[in-house]
Structures are given as structure tokens and as C-alpha cells.
Structure 1
Amino acid sequence: MENLASIFSALGDPTRFAIIERLLANGEQSAGELQDVANISAPAISRHLKVLHEAGLVNRKINRQQRLYSLRPEAFATVGSWFISHQEFWAKSLDRLEAALKKESN
């Protein structure tokens, strides 16, 4: 879970989030295929893909002249684990609040 800050930072940008959404929907794609997720230049898309790769969210594979990108499931498992651990915290906190309110109203 040490990489969560860079993962959330990478996902915080709307263009990078759109790239992740596209990869979730369509699977592996080239940088060129991802270019239409935002109205930006090819070098800008490449910079966004670099951030996603450095955050550990995507794999990059070179096939001749193409750079192919796909999601790294283990990165999303880390995020899912973090959410689940915090969901349990809030559920327990709300249960304690409910019990205290019931006790107070009696």
C-alpha cells in the first residue's frame, strides 16, 4: 500500500482517469488509440501514459513502432483493499453512533 499516494495522484487527473476508463472498457490499446480520450496532443497523451506507468497502474509493451498499454490488476487490487479497510472503519463507527443514539433516546 506504499504506492497509494502516487496511484491516487495519477487518477486525480481527468485525462488519466479517462485513459484508465478506456483501458477498462477495451483492454490493451496503443498510445495512438488512446489519443482521442482528450483534446490534447500526442506528446501530452504520452506524458499522461508515463505518469500512469510510473504510478504502477499500466503496463507498457513495445511492439515494433507501437507502445501498447494495459491495466495492472495488482494496482487496482491494492486500491480495492484500501477502500475495503476504510469501509469497515466507517461501518463500525456508524454502528457505534447508532448504539449511542439509541441509548441516549431511551
Structure 2
Amino acid sequence: MGTPQLTTVMKTLADPTRRAVYERIMRDGEVAATGLVEGTRVSQPAVSQHLRALRQAGLVLERREGRNIHYRIAPKGLAPLIDWLGHYQSFWRERFENLEKLLRETSDE
């Protein structure tokens, strides 16, 4: 299941500020690094560190245009997490179905 990559993705997105940066890039499509600092309380060096972590985890891609660096979501970046969740999907679906059945049975009594 790609455990090292899954662990990296989960650790990277565990930080709330980093997750907010990721979500902003996802929402905006492509964002210049300088644009990620505007309107936030996060310093340029901190945003750069978060972007580096996101890039190393394979969650974002960068495109250089002169002195500007633009970031966009890496299409397959969340694949390890999605695969992991998919693995447990049938497990949890079955458990919830059993719980619903039990609740129906106990409410009928």
C-alpha cells in the first residue's frame, strides 16, 4: 500500500497551516508563492517551508516563471491516502450496516 509514502502524506497534511496552504492551492488552481502569504498571518519563510514539505511529499508541483514560482496540486499526490482509505471502505461499510441492523432490532423490541 506504499506505507512510507502514505506516512509522509499523512504527516505532511497533519499540520493545520500546511493543510490550509494545500487547500488554498487546491481552491485557486495555481498560486504564486508570494500570493500565498497575502492575507495570512504566516511569514514568507514559513510559507516557503510549508511549500517545500508539500513538494517533497509529492502533493504539489511547482512551475518557475522568471523569479516567480507558481504552485499547483499534484494530480496523484493524494493517491496513497485515497488507496489506504479505500482499503478500509468495505470494512467500515460492513460495520455500519451491522450497527444499523442492531439498532433496528433493538428499537423493534
Structure-1 residue corresponding to 2:78 = 76
**In percent, how many aligned pairs have the same letter?**
33
Structure 1: state its 5+ residue gaps. Answer: none
Structure-1 residue corresponding to 2:88 = 86
Partner amino acid for 2:10?
F
Which of residues 64, 82, 89 in structure 2 aligns to 1:62? Answer: 64
Distance 2:27 2:34 in 1: 16
Q: Is residue 9–residue 78 contact of structure 2 (8 Å, CA) maintained in 1?
A: no
Q: Is residue 9–residue 80 contact of structure 2 (8 Å, CA) maintained in 1?
A: no
Structure-1 residue corresponding to 2:33 = 31
Structure-2 residue corresponding to 1:9 = 11
CA RMSD in angstroms comes to 2.2
Distance 1:69 1:79 in 2: 21
Partner amino acid for 2:62?
R
Structure-1 residue corresponding to 2:23 = 21
How far apart are residue 60 of structure 1 and its match?
Answer: 1.4
Describe the shift of the 1:14–1:37 C-alpha distance in structure 2 as closer, same or farther (beyond 3 A): farther
Greater relative contact order structure (CA < 8 Å, 6+ sep): 2
How far apart are residue 15 of structure 1 and its match?
Answer: 1.2
TM-score, normalising length: structure 2: 0.80
Q: Is residue 19–residue 37 contact of structure 1 (8 Å, CA) maintained in 2?
A: no
How far apart are residue 69 of structure 1 and its match?
Answer: 0.6
Q: Is residue 28–residue 69 contact of structure 1 (8 Å, CA) maintained in 2?
A: yes
TM-score, normalising length: structure 1: 0.82
Aligned length: 104
SS in 2 for 1:11: helix
